[in-house]
Chain A
Amino acid sequence: MSIGKKKKEKEFVPSQPYTKGTLAVQIIMTLAAVLFIAPLFIILNYSFKGKRELYLSSPLALPESLNFDNYAAAFKKLDLGTTFVNTLFYTVTSVLILALLCGMTAWAIARCSRKFFKFAYIYFIVGILIPYQALFLPIYMIGFRLNLTNTRHGIIFMYVATGVSFGVFLMNSFMSTVPLELEEAARIDGCSVFRTYFSVVLPLLKPAMATLVIMQSFQIWNDYLLASLYVSKKQLKTLTVAIQSLFSAQSSDYTTAMAAIVISVLPIAILFLSLQKYFIKGMTVGAVKG
């Protein structure tokens, strides 16, 4: 692929010799990559097409001109000024709270060997095995009872509650990278447990925090079920909920929907591309031996 060719020189030199077999693999993977990227290309292609082209030209043809009408329409129909800001607000707030809570919890669990903390770890892990989707009915009910539905703090609370177990698991796996000597030194100097955590441990957890932040943002940004259950008020709606109503309303005229998709994917794609390293670290926790 053409994007690949320019970058080729910068790539590290592979240890294996480049044989005919490698070339065959390269060709097969290029075909696979083209197949994988095709739907993305189709989305982008449609997002620039006019209504007339939708019916007259082949779906595979390129748009006649680059017009941004669909983007303008999507902006209006999604009420982007509200939904985008809402989604951003829910995501950022939930993720910040998660970062604060999970780091603290995981550290305390890792450092205190009392029975309660061992129990707490297993307790949190149960949450990874049971995705919240399986419990959406009582989750909705409890939100309704506690007056959490249709409020900003309600949905943020639930994103935090459903993200805590993965966060604790993730942060816990990073705790071995924090040297105990530093903590002991701080304690001898008379620091309380809290101070030790916030002034000594927390700064060392930065890479782990970055991993947590990107993993959770991507989950929360893309969430549909919880948002659709918790939010029905127009001014509180998230992007995915707005997109779903656009999908069902505009099934024949889908160029606007395609532009909406591009808009919704862009922020998370940018976040991924700029923090790829941390993302991969978070995904592969526990997957690599030693």
Chain B
Amino acid sequence: MNEKKKISYMEKKMSRQYFLMVLPGFIIFTIGLIVPLVLAVRYSFTSWDGMSAEKPFVAFQNYVDLIKDPEFRNAWWFTLRFTIWNTIIQNVVALLFAVALDSGIKAQKVYRTVLFVPCLISALVVGFVWLKMFSNVLPALNDVLGTNINFLLFGEKRTVLRGLLIANNWQWIGYWMLIYLAGLQSVPGDLHEAAKVDGAGPVSRFINVTLPMLAPAITICVVGITTGSLKVYDLLVSSTKGGPGRASTSVIYQTYTTAINGRQYGYGCAMSVTLVLVLLMVAMVQVKGLKKKEVQV
């Protein structure tokens, strides 16, 4: 009896100590991210300007206005196109590059480093570099080659998305490639040998052996690229500033102009809340959908 009491006392003491170890991180995380999340929801029901003492409660009025707001819809339209194209291009090219690097070419590590380096640069700088690439550097190529390609992609509404996709993909393809490469290198060689003996060609081996083994990497890359693209902001600040017109205004950029420059803090919070909801939904759907495929394998 006494022994038992002693053990449960020990356990209690230990779990209290464990608790104390989790506590600081828990509190900091709560103040820094969860409280803001709650605040965003709360303020989204007000027409607060961010400064004055009173925060008039307007219930769902902000959300009703959002649906009708052409600028907000435009921001989502841009953000969604940016996200979908990024997800497709980055995944496909990163995977192709990874397969190419894993195919036994020489100096694999050099290629890996070269393709990876752009992601070490901050998105802000990447935006500026491509602004100069499109406006000053690439047009000079026309003189050299004697061609007449329009490189001023940031100058026109029609092409601005293309330009930003080039900049963003230049920055991130190497990053995702590295994840795919690690996934590829973890595929046991005997699996391929076995498939070869069974008479499977390289394409069939890739689809039936490699791809299923890559499932966790695919999950990570798809979720990472989607969330990364939905939150695009830094890249725009130094390149297009949301323009020309509003052609490249992302949801966060629009939130910033609305809440900080336009002093509609409550309305801006409602925008943030929609973005958070979309982020959570996308992550859930993707993780669930992709996890299912992993299990089937």
A and B physically associate: yes
- Using CB atoms and an 8 Å cutoff, list the residues of chain A in contact with chain B: 1, 3-5, 7-8, 11, 14-18, 21-22, 25-26, 28-30, 32-33, 36-37, 39-40, 42-43, 46, 58-60, 101-102, 104-105, 107-109, 111-112, 114, 116-117, 120, 123-124, 126-127, 129-139, 141-142, 146, 157-158, 160-162, 164-165, 168, 192-194, 197, 218, 221-225, 240, 243-244, 247, 254, 257, 261, 264-265, 268-269, 272-273, 276, 280, 283-284, 286-290
User: What is the chain B residue whose CB lies nearest that of A58?
Assistant: B140
User: What is the chain A residue whose CB lies nearest that of B125?
Assistant: A261
Contact B22 A194 (CB under 8 A): no
User: What is the chain A residue whose CB lies nearest that of B35?
Assistant: A142
| Cα(A35)–Cα(B189), bound, Å | 32
Contact A60 B144 (CB under 8 A): yes
The yes or no answer to B149 lying at the interface (CB within 8 A) is no
* Given A11-B109, A142-B39: A268 and B25 interface contact (C-beta under 8 Å): no
Contact A15 B182 (CB under 8 A): no
Contact B105 A244 (CB under 8 A): no
| Cα(A248)–Cα(B280), bound, Å | 35
Contact A39 B133 (CB under 8 A): yes
Contact B217 A288 (CB under 8 A): yes
Contacts of A11 in B (CB 8 A): 106-109
Nearest Cβ distance between residue A236 and chain B, in whole angstroms?
Answer: 18
Contacts of A168 in B (CB 8 A): 25
User: What is the chain B residue whose CB lies nearest that of A142?
Assistant: B36
| Cα(A58)–Cα(B179), bound, Å | 38
Contact among A15, A22, A146 with B189 in the assembled complex (CB-CB below 8 Å): A15
Contact A7 B186 (CB under 8 A): no
User: What is the chain A residue whose CB lies nearest that of B27?
Assistant: A161
In B170-190, which residues have CB < 8 Å from any A CB? 170, 174-175, 178-179, 182-183, 186, 189
Contact A1 B31 (CB under 8 A): no
Nearest Cβ distance between residue A48 and chain B, in whole angstroms?
Answer: 15
Contact A117 B18 (CB under 8 A): yes
| Cα(A39)–Cα(B40), bound, Å | 39
The yes or no answer to B227 lying at the interface (CB within 8 A) is yes
Contact A222 B25 (CB under 8 A): no
| Cα(A37)–Cα(B221), bound, Å | 23
Q: Which of B58-66, B68-76, B113-121, B156-164 contacts A (4 or more CB under 8 A)?
A: B113-121
Contact B276 A18 (CB under 8 A): no
Contact A130 B106 (CB under 8 A): no
| Cα(A32)–Cα(B99), bound, Å | 14
